Structures are given as C-alpha cells and as structure tokens.
Amino acid sequence: MIKYTDWGKIGYQEAWDKQEVEFNQHLAKKAIKETYSEPTGRFVICEHPHVYTLGKSGNSANMLLNDELLKKIDATYVKTNRGGDITYHGPGQIVGYPIIDLESLNLQLKEYISKLEDVIIDTIADYGLKGERLDGATGVWLDPANPIKARKICAIGVKASRYVTMHGFALNVNTNLDYFTYINPCGFVDKGVTSLKKELNSEIDINEVKSKIFTNFEKQFNIKLQPSDI
C-alpha cells in the first residue's frame, strides 16, 4: 500500500535523511527481487524553514547570495541529489515527497512526473487557476505561452534509482515570494514565480490545499492512500 504522512514543519536536511531511509529500504527489497502485489511506498508532505536547494545538475551561479546575506535573511543553502536547478523552500509552501516504487504502479519516470504535474494542475483548478506545462521545463506554470506573464507556481525535482523515487514538488501557497529574488529560480532569469495567495489576493487555508493534494494524488495515480503517523 501507499501511505501518506504530514510531517508538518521540518528542517530540509532532516526530511532528506528520513526520505533516504525509506528510499534505501525499497532498493534493498528490489535487490533481493522482492515483488509487490499492490502499489507500495509513501507520500509525504511538509513545510520547511527558509532554505535554498541546488539540484545535482544545477548551476551554483544561480544562487545570488553569499553566506553573510544568507544568514541575514535566516536561510540556509543545501546541495542536494534531486534533478533540476536551484529553488527555494519555506513557510507557506507545500512540499511533497513521494517515495514510491514506480514498477508497482507500472509507470515510467516521465509518466510519473507528468502525473505529479497533473496533481497540482487539478489542485489549483479548484481555486479557479489554469495550470499548464512549459515546453522544456518541469513544474506547473500560469500563462506559459506569454513570455511576459509566464510564472511558475510549482517546482518539481525528482531523484529515481531502479524506479524508486524521492524528492518531488513544491507548491507555493502562502509563500513569501521575496525569497525568490535572491536566486534565478530553476535557472530561469526571464520568468516569474507566483503563489496561490498572490493570484487570489488572499491568504489560503494551507490544510485545505493539502487535503486537495491528497485527493488529487489518489485520482491521478488510481490508488487509495492509507494514513500513517510515521
């Protein structure tokens, strides 16, 4: 079964370490060719304190702050092992970490990422927003066809090994978007970043958004999530 958990507010490194434990457990089972009779894994959501993370193929030049300025804005900087370039995580942003064996869902990695995007597209549609894809970039965008107005509302960066996934997505809900001005988000210098709060001009109930994400995850992956306290 696939379990779901809300870790609440948790440090980025602690969340990464917890993901690695479960990720490695899946790999160990696959090494002994253990098979599954049903989809298996865990879907975690959480929020992080202010942190910038750089993907393994990212360009460090897209971080525009030095250590002194990082400290001044109460943020940290972590080089991580997901795909993608640099992004920001912080309070008011929902981060999702599915640690899932894609073979148990009969999915390829490209299909999986597309479904993650669809989960977010469905979720923001409940708030009257039309989420779309941008050619050559992962994530969910608003007005991607308009070079002047194109803005990202959700970043996606995934690691996969032997079809086991970790890391995931970051949806801006009530996020302080000022923190994105200190980086070139996802390596882009000509496109904006937005949030549900900015688009709707109102504070959003983040627990309501989390609930919608879980519901849309079940729909897109055609599964039933089971609650877990771990």
Catalytic residues: 186
Helix extents (H) in 32-144: 67-72, 109-125
**Under 8 Å between Cβ of 186 and 87:** yes
| b/e map 188-226, b = 16+ CB within 10 Å | beebbbbbbbbbeeeebebeebbebbbebbbebbebebe
Phi–psi pair at 59, nearest 5 degrees: -105, 115
Helix extents (H) in 166-227: 196-200, 206-221
Q: How far is it, in rounded angstroms, from Cα 185 to Cα 82? A: 15
Coil, helix or strand at residue 63: strand
